[in-house]
Amino acid sequence: ASWAITKKPGQVYNPLFIYGKVGLGKTHLLQAIGNEIIQNFKDKKVRYIPTGNFVAEVISSIRNRETEKLKSKYQKIDVLIIDDVQFLTGKEKTQEEFFYTFNTLYEKNKQIIISSDRPPKAIPALAERLRSRFEGGMIADISFPDLETRIAILKSKCQEREVDISDEILNYISSKVQRNIRELEGALNILIAYQKLNNNPPNLKIAKTLLKNLTSSPSRTVNAKKIIQTVAAFYDLKEKDLMSTSRKKEIVRPRQIAMFLLRQELKASFPFIGRRFGGKDHTTAIYAYEKILKEVDKNESLDEEIGLIKHRRGCLLQMLIYQSQGQLRIKGHIYQLCQS
């Protein structure tokens, strides 16, 4: 269906509603569809937007009395790709604006592509007229890939990153990670980080040690405070720095990452996240989440950082150390991050 849309946008499978659990590659797929359409049709205006950003645009247009300007902006689009539409839940005014935009584009045979973590019928507090529109097109379920596909994904990532990880280890990772692609890539990032630190690829024994939490539950329950503490420690900051109103780059970035992790790991609501960080508006939390989510796909270093932060929860000191000439060697400041 996705491939057909890139050849005939607006003519087949319209709207296309893609759903699947977190971390299965929906955002990658949406962006790939958009990029392919741009390549095939230079004159078409393609707009990819996370739902959180759309919500922020609607709120801003209402505050500034520019709703007509917003409507006009979206009427000019040929392909609208909206990610994580489940975040429209309970937002009546935003749903009204989206319904208007949807109808306007649909009547003009403009392509609409939507993603969600659940099918339309399972999205709570969604206007029935929107639900009906979503169900009127093609609904596609993205499921977790089989073992062979998982191995192929890891091999492809290794080629992209220009690293050499043995097939034996890639098979091990693929057999142990059975939840989502993000976790699969996160495991690979741990091994890549080890290889960069030690200038030597890990063997299977080391890989099993580094990734032991893939087969065992974390020793402590993850909660908001733990995530905030972990992020603060990782960036050598105090918790109060993350909670402050400081706009210093060295504080803003970790704060956004902490907000991102609260959303991704705990599925915390944006209002909750905003309140947790000194009573900030929920739109600040939405912006932080969408910003980091988008950058993770493009920035390998950031992806590795977040992977390290996640694995820090189990205090995997082994990940950052290695044996050399019979002595335990620790990589500088990283050792401090694993202190309790």
In this prediction, residue 310 has a pLDDT band, given cuts at 50, 70 and 90, of confident
- Residue at 258 is within a domain: yes
Interval 88-102: pLDDT, tens? 888 888 899 999 999
Percent of the chain topping pLDDT 90: 26
Provide the residue count of the chain: 340
Note down the domain range covering 278.
224-312
pLDDT at 340 over 60: no
Q: What pLDDT is stored for residue 213 in this prediction?
A: 66
The rounded distance, in Å, linking the Cα atoms of 321 and 268 is 33
Q: What pLDDT is stored for residue 319 in this prediction?
A: 36
Residue 11 and residue 117 in one domain: yes
Residue 212 and residue 264 in one domain: no
Q: What pLDDT is stored for residue 331 in this prediction?
A: 34
Q: Tell me the average pLDDT across 137-141.
A: 90
Residue 45: CB atoms within 10 Å: 12
Interval 3-40: pLDDT, tens? 889 998 988 889 999 998 877 778 888 988 999 999 99
The rounded distance, in Å, linking the Cα atoms of 186 and 312 is 12
- Tell me the pTM: 0.60
In this prediction, residue 313 has a pLDDT band, given cuts at 50, 70 and 90, of low
Residue 64 and residue 163 in one domain: no
**Distances in whole angstroms, Cα of residue 299 to Cα of each of 79, 219, 265, 306:** 26, 30, 20, 11
CATH number of the domain at 24, please: 3.40.50.300
Q: What pLDDT is stored for residue 88 in this prediction?
A: 87
Interval 201-218: pLDDT, tens? 889 998 888 887 665 444
- Residue at 90 is within a domain: yes
Nearest residue to 181 (alpha-carbon basis) of 156, 159, 164, 212: 156
- Residue at 99 is within a domain: yes
Interval 157-172: pLDDT, tens? 899 888 899 999 999 9
In this prediction, residue 245 has a pLDDT band, given cuts at 50, 70 and 90, of confident
- Do residues 6 and 13 make contact, with C-beta atoms less than 8 angstroms apart? no
- Do residues 126 and 95 make contact, with C-beta atoms less than 8 angstroms apart? yes
Domains contained in the chain, number: 3
The rounded distance, in Å, linking the Cα atoms of 304 and 230 is 15
Residue 19 and residue 43 in one domain: yes
Residue 11 and residue 134 in one domain: yes
CATH number of the domain at 238, please: 1.10.1750.10
Residue 204 and residue 234 in one domain: no
Residue 185 and residue 241 in one domain: no
Residue 22 and residue 151 in one domain: no
